[in-house]
Amino acid sequence: MMHAITSLFAAAALVGGAGVALGAASAGQAVDHSKMDHSKMDHSKMDHSKMDHSKMDHSEIDESKMDHSKMDHAPVKHVEMVAARRAAFKLSAVDFLGIKAAIARGDDVKTLAFAAGALAGWGKVIPVMFPSGSTTPESEALPEIWSDRAGFEAAAANMAAASAKLAELAKAGDTAGFATQFGEVGKSCGACHTKFRKPEPKN
């Protein structure tokens, strides 16, 4: 009998303590969480959307105990990089062929300055699109892009410089000079493709 009464008083004390904590929280008073037994709390039923994480002390988080092996730190996948640069090369081809058609039609070359500038911009970033190991069976890139990196970057720089000069001639309205320089841009593209791109399959 005495044991039962003692248990009842202990239960009442626990309930009372919880009630005090809840009352303090509802009254806006500070609650000492260090004295709360979090192991018995059902966190799955807590509404985390209403928690103010900006007031949490993240400095006390022990990152050495975090399992980083389960975190996705992987860079852009090679297949995605290959798809991105293939799309970019197709867009540059559309740009190139558009300029070629405009020259054939006798269009005002001043209207082609933007297109020529776009080719120059693309030439500057081509090497960025070929990070180490970024190849797949679908890629047309040859291993020489990485084994002769200096040569590859030089070829891209030549294409960018030729296209930049093309843009300058367009702005100046130099029709004859523009047509001649367009041929130089084509040569710079061809030189890079010959050394660093897989040959196109023969029909």
Residue 56 lies in a domain: no
Q: In this structure, is residue 58 part of a structural domain?
A: no
Give the closest residue to 166 by CA, choosing from 124, 118, 127, 126: 118
Q: How many domains does the chain have?
A: 1
148-195 pLDDT per residue, tens = 999 999 999 999 999 999 999 999 999 999 999 999 999 999 999 999
pLDDT for the residue numbered 25: 41
CATH at residue 145: 1.20.120.10
36 touches 21 (CB < 8 A): yes
The pLDDT value recorded for residue 65 is 58
Q: How far is CA 25 from CA 8, 40, 47, 61, 71, in A?
A: 26, 19, 16, 24, 35
Whole domain around residue 135: which residue ranges? 81-196
Check residue 118 and give its pLDDT: 97
The per-residue pLDDT for 37 is 59
Domain-embedded: residue 121: yes
For residue 36, being part of any structural domain is answered with no
In a domain, 39, yes or no: no
Amino acid at 174: D
**Is residue 62, in this structure, part of any structural domain at all?**
no
pLDDT at res. 47: 58
Q: Does residue 59 lie within any of the structural domains?
A: no
**149 domain residue, yes or no:** yes
Residues 6+ apart with CB under 8 A from 92: 118, 119, 122
Q: What is the 3-state secondary structure (H, E, C) of the chain?
A: CHHHHHHHHHHHHHHHHHHHHHHHHHCCCCCCHHHCCHHHCCHHHCCHHHCCHHHCCHHHCCHHHCCHHHCCCCCCCHHHHHHHHHHHHHHHHHHHHHHHHHHHHCCCHHHHHHHHHHHHHHHHHHHHHCCCCCCCCCCCECCHHHHCHHHHHHHHHHHHHHHHHHHHHHHHCCHHHHHHHHHHHHHHHHHHHHHHECCCCCC
Full-prediction pTM beyond 0.85? no
Output the tens digit of pLDDT for each of the chain's 203 residues: 434 434 433 333 433 444 434 344 444 445 455 555 555 555 555 555 555 545 555 455 455 555 545 544 444 688 999 999 999 999 999 999 999 999 999 999 999 999 999 999 999 999 999 999 999 988 999 999 999 999 999 999 999 999 999 999 999 999 999 999 999 999 999 999 999 999 987 76
What's the pLDDT score for residue 42? 59
Q: What's the pLDDT at 162?
A: 98
Q: How far apart are CA 105 and CA 87, in angstroms?
A: 27
User: What is the per-residue pLDDT for 177?
Assistant: 98
